């Protein structure tokens, strides 16, 4: 059995993951970490200050983090100190926070980090890479939509898609929404929608000469992210220290 601790245990993703680990035959939910102590699916949730003791007591194999950017560095440091493999889904991480995370991980523990654990999104990103390579001279727009409680914008997935597009089609100015008299140049327009309980939509549009090509992905339920994260958790335990992504987990070419 792979012993799992979930950071952000009381959150939307934490609850979905907790339920799925609890229902699985090969994963054991040994605890959670959140701002306030509580419990979920028969396991204890402790405050962040008690995380070290929890990881020692439970001998956790893997720590899964779906929290908030300001919390993730501390969670990664305590997990790495306890030799736990890591699954990191938290988005909105700054370059400085990313550097701190890398310092804690590299040479110490294996970690899978990705802005979107959906297997469909891993395939979608490959399609976006191919289309951006083929459609370099088209106007490119990116649209994402999420629930009203999402804190970071644009989404982590949207930022990853921008990076993929620019790797293939060249660096461009990014224009976040438009208002007033605007003249389209060679920018990538980025548009963020927040409302209701939208789970997570991403669309890339390429337009030129009386035609538009659209590629889109829509998640209908958080279980798509959770099942990808748990697939990564099963895969990462026992790997060499380093940072991996879903292409590594799924054996897809980069």
Ligand X SMILES: O=C(O)C1=N[C@H](C(=O)O)C[C@H](O)C1
Ligand Y SMILES: NC(=O)C1=CN([C@@H]2O[C@H](COP(=O)(O)OP(=O)(O)OC[C@H]3O[C@@H](n4cnc5c(N)ncnc54)[C@H](OP(=O)(O)O)[C@@H]3O)[C@@H](O)[C@H]2O)C=CC1
Minimum gap (Å) between residue 190 Cβ and ligand X: 13
Q: Residue 53: enclosing H or E segment and its boundaries?
A: helix 51-58
Binding residues: 8-13, 36, 89-91, 114-117, 147, 156-157
Catalytic residue among 59, 103, 136, 146: 146
* 108: helix, strand or coil: coil
Choosing among ligand Y, ligand X, none, which partner's interface includes residue 192 (Cβ < 5 to 8 Å by kind)?
A: none
Listed residue (125, 142, 150) closest to 13, CA to CA: 150
Binding residues (CB under 6 A) for ligand X: these are 91, 115-116, 146, 150, 155-157, 200
CB count, 10 Å around CB of 180? 4
Q: Residue 45: enclosing H or E segment and its boundaries?
A: strand 43-47
Q: Rounded distance, CA 36 to CA 134, Å? A: 50
Choosing among ligand X, ligand Y, none, which partner's interface includes residue 146 (Cβ < 5 to 8 Å by kind)?
A: ligand X
Q: Which is nearer to ligand X, 156 or 189 (CB)?
A: 156
Choosing among ligand Y, ligand X, none, which partner's interface includes residue 232 (Cβ < 5 to 8 Å by kind)?
A: none
Known catalytic residue: 150?
Answer: yes
Q: What are phi and psi of 60, to 5 degrees?
A: -60, 145
* 138: helix, strand or coil: coil
Known catalytic residue: 146?
Answer: yes
Binding residues (CB under 6 A) for ligand Y: these are 7-8, 10-14, 33-35, 48, 66-68, 71, 89-92, 114-117, 152, 156, 225
């Amino acid at each position: 059995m792979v012993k799992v601790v979930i950071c952000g245990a009381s959150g939307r993703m934490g609850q979905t993951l907790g339920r799925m680990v609890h229902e699985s035959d090969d994963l054991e939910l040994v605890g959670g970490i959140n701002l306030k102590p509580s419990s979920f699916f028969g396991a204890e949730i402790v405050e962040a200050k008690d995380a070290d003791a929890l990881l020692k007591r439970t001998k956790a194999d893997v720590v899964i983090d779906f929290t908030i950017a300001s919390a993730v560095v501390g969670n990664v440091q305590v997990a790495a100190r306890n030799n736990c493999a890591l699954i990191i889904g938290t988005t909105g991480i700054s370059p400085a926070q990313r550097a701190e995370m890398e310092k804690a991980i590299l040479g110490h523990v294996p970690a899978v980090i990705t802005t979107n654990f959906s297997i469909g999104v891993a395939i979608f990103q490959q399609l976006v890479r191919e289309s951006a390579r083929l459609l370099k001279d088209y106007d490119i727009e990116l649209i994402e939509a999420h629930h009203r409680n999402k804190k970071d914008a644009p989404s982590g997935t949207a930022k990853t898609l921008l990076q993929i597009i620019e790797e293939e089609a060249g660096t461009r100015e990014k224009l976040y929404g438009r208002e007033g008299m605007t003249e389209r140049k060679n920018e990538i327009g980025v548009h963020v929608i927040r409302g209701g309980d939208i789970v997570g939509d991403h669309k890339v549009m390429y337009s030129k000469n009386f035609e538009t090509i659209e590629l889109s992905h829509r998640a209908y339920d958080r279980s798509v992210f959770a099942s990808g994260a748990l697939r990564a958790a099963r895969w990462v335990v026992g790997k060499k220290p380093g940072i991996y992504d879903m292409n590594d987990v799924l054996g897809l070419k980069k």
